[in-house]
Chain A
């Protein structure tokens, strides 16, 4: 540890984890034009679901992980049906506010259901570190990095080559046009929330595997924001690149700046990157440019 290379490599892996969460932002944003501030809370709900099935109900990994993935998909659909559907066609502000409300509400529910104490997330993925020469990696992050790449490839293919995916892309472009072409906007949005719930729980497993967790771990949702922004909020493939760039930049920043600031740079640097992106190129690397008319 301590070498520059290991900071870069571990940064890249963390970046890929952020990319997975960023992807769950992007998928909802593409179809619903909703920026889901509550994403971090959904990640945490997914984590607690896995914990409940495995540690509280004592089910095996092979049962509980699919169950948790399924329930988080259902949660996504439920949120869409109950909260977001009444708002279709409303202005942007309403969506921002409702997802903020959702953020607070889910946190309350998580606290009532699971309480504030530290839980140990079950070991779903092997914990033994991966050694590659002098480099040491968290095995869950390595598996997660590969999973992110695979998911990104599947998602890109899904959105560009399948009927449903193309319909969802059309919805992303414009709700009214999509409606007039006979595409069900409601279904697209529901599907995107389900996929997003699925990805959130995957990210939760990779992120928390074998570690202690409290409801505060939901902050990772905000930490993934810079990745989504750098990629551009409409780009699925771009988040992988965005994740790598942000992750490596954060790794380098921790390596060079931590000694000066006495640690903690890694937590704030993504947000510095985010402000810079927003000031220079708000649409990100691969985002769609929109033209506004009066």
Chain B
């Protein structure tokens, strides 16, 4: 990362800091303020959209760590999310545990489930690995629909009470928004830190060339499994939050299709960068919202297109975007953003 002129670190502490210039502090404070005040700023729907974006973002961040940073293709993120949702949901409905316990346990159970399928990474790599994660998806759906009704409700799913602390229940959109926001902040910070740590560097080494990484003394198998463990943990947390947000868990909510969307968000945003995951999630989610609003209007004007047009348009848009990005800008929007930032800093000089 480059900095504008005049920013020099004099101590290790300064060198390690995430935010280093007054302007960065200003922008950061502004962002936090907007996020905190969002329920008071805009329409109610903005809060709902922001909550869904937040939950999606956690899952996509996990996928970024597994796929973008450690290079392990993962098409089962939504199954992992489902495991988290079911674990949290079952503990909350059957044993009435507090969400402070069930959300982390949801994360851990998803992480274990993910790591089991990640174990296949010992022998295989590349798209073979994608195939085991696809298998994870099918096995997840089957298991949830067939396990005893007392645990997961089979096809009826689980209905949850709102998350509650004592008598304070997270039962309105605004309250659940703040809960999600807090978790998103924590998870983003965690992912950012992980990327800068020894583990993150090991992930990148494994991604760039796992044989070379093995030769320089990185335990490739350990780090591949770990990347699945952490990525699925993120998915599990996202799933548990989803369970508390929708207050209903059902296997149909977690499809292979959803995983494919997550991968798409990653590609559009940019592989291997936390900021990329954020940009991709926000951009794609907002586009989805835009299409749900504009689509019916278009369908009204051109009735021949019919009602399915909205869903179809979303697919064509995302599929087209993925293809275009892979062909023309494999490093994603975040790369464009960095170029823009760089040229702004050194303007009027070309380089």
* Chain A residues in the interface with B (C-beta under 8 A): 35, 37, 83, 86-87, 90, 92-94, 96-98, 100-109, 111-112, 115-116, 222, 225, 229, 261-262, 264, 267-268, 271-272, 274-275, 278-279, 282, 292-294
> Chain A nearest CB: distance from B94 CB in Å?
22
Q: How far is the CA of A268 from the CA of B134 in the complex (A)?
A: 11
B-side contacts of A98, CB under 8 Å: 322-323, 326-327
A105 with B135: CB separation less than 8 A: no
A sample of 17 inter-chain contacts (CB < 8 A) reads: A94-B326, A94-B330, A97-B322, A98-B326, A101-B318, A103-B319, A106-B319, A107-B315, A108-B313, A108-B318, A112-B313, A271-B134, A275-B117, A275-B120, A278-B128, A278-B131, A293-B211
A229 with B138: CB separation less than 8 A: no
Q: Which of B132, B211, B315, B330 contacts A105 (CB 8 A)?
A: B315
A108 with B134: CB separation less than 8 A: no
Interface bits B301-314 vs A (CB < 8 Å: 1, else 0) = 00001101101111
A-side contacts of B142, CB under 8 Å: 264, 267-268
Number of interface residues of B (CB under 8 A): 53
A101 with B315: CB separation less than 8 A: no
Q: Judge if B87 is at the interface, Cβ distance under 8 Å.
A: no
> Chain A nearest CB: distance from B251 CB in Å?
12
Residue of B with least CB distance to A29: B127
A-side contacts of B71, CB under 8 Å: 93
Q: Judge if B263 is at the interface, Cβ distance under 8 Å.
A: yes
* Chain B residues in the interface with A (C-beta under 8 A): 71, 73, 75, 117, 119-120, 123-124, 126-128, 130-132, 134-135, 138-139, 141-142, 145-146, 209, 211-212, 215, 256, 260-261, 263-264, 267, 271, 305-306, 308-309, 311-323, 326-327, 330
B-side contacts of A292, CB under 8 Å: 211
> Chain A nearest CB: distance from B210 CB in Å?
9
Q: Which of A86, A108, A261 contacts B319 (CB 8 A)?
A: A108
Residue of A with least CB distance to B305: A112
B319 with A101: CB separation less than 8 A: yes
Given contacts A104-B260, A272-B135, A278-B123, contact A83 B327 (CB under 8 A): yes
Q: How far is the CA of A103 from the CA of B318 in the complex (A)?
A: 10
List 19 other contacts, CB 8 Å, given A104-B264, A262-B146, A278-B135: A83-B323, A92-B127, A93-B271, A101-B321, A104-B319, A104-B322, A105-B320, A106-B319, A108-B315, A108-B319, A115-B306, A116-B308, A264-B142, A271-B139, A274-B131, A275-B120, A278-B123, A282-B128, A294-B211
> Chain A nearest CB: distance from B104 CB in Å?
28
Residue of A with least CB distance to B330: A94
A101 with B326: CB separation less than 8 A: yes
Q: How far is the CA of A229 from the CA of B145 in the complex (A)?
A: 27
A-side contacts of B132, CB under 8 Å: 274-275, 278
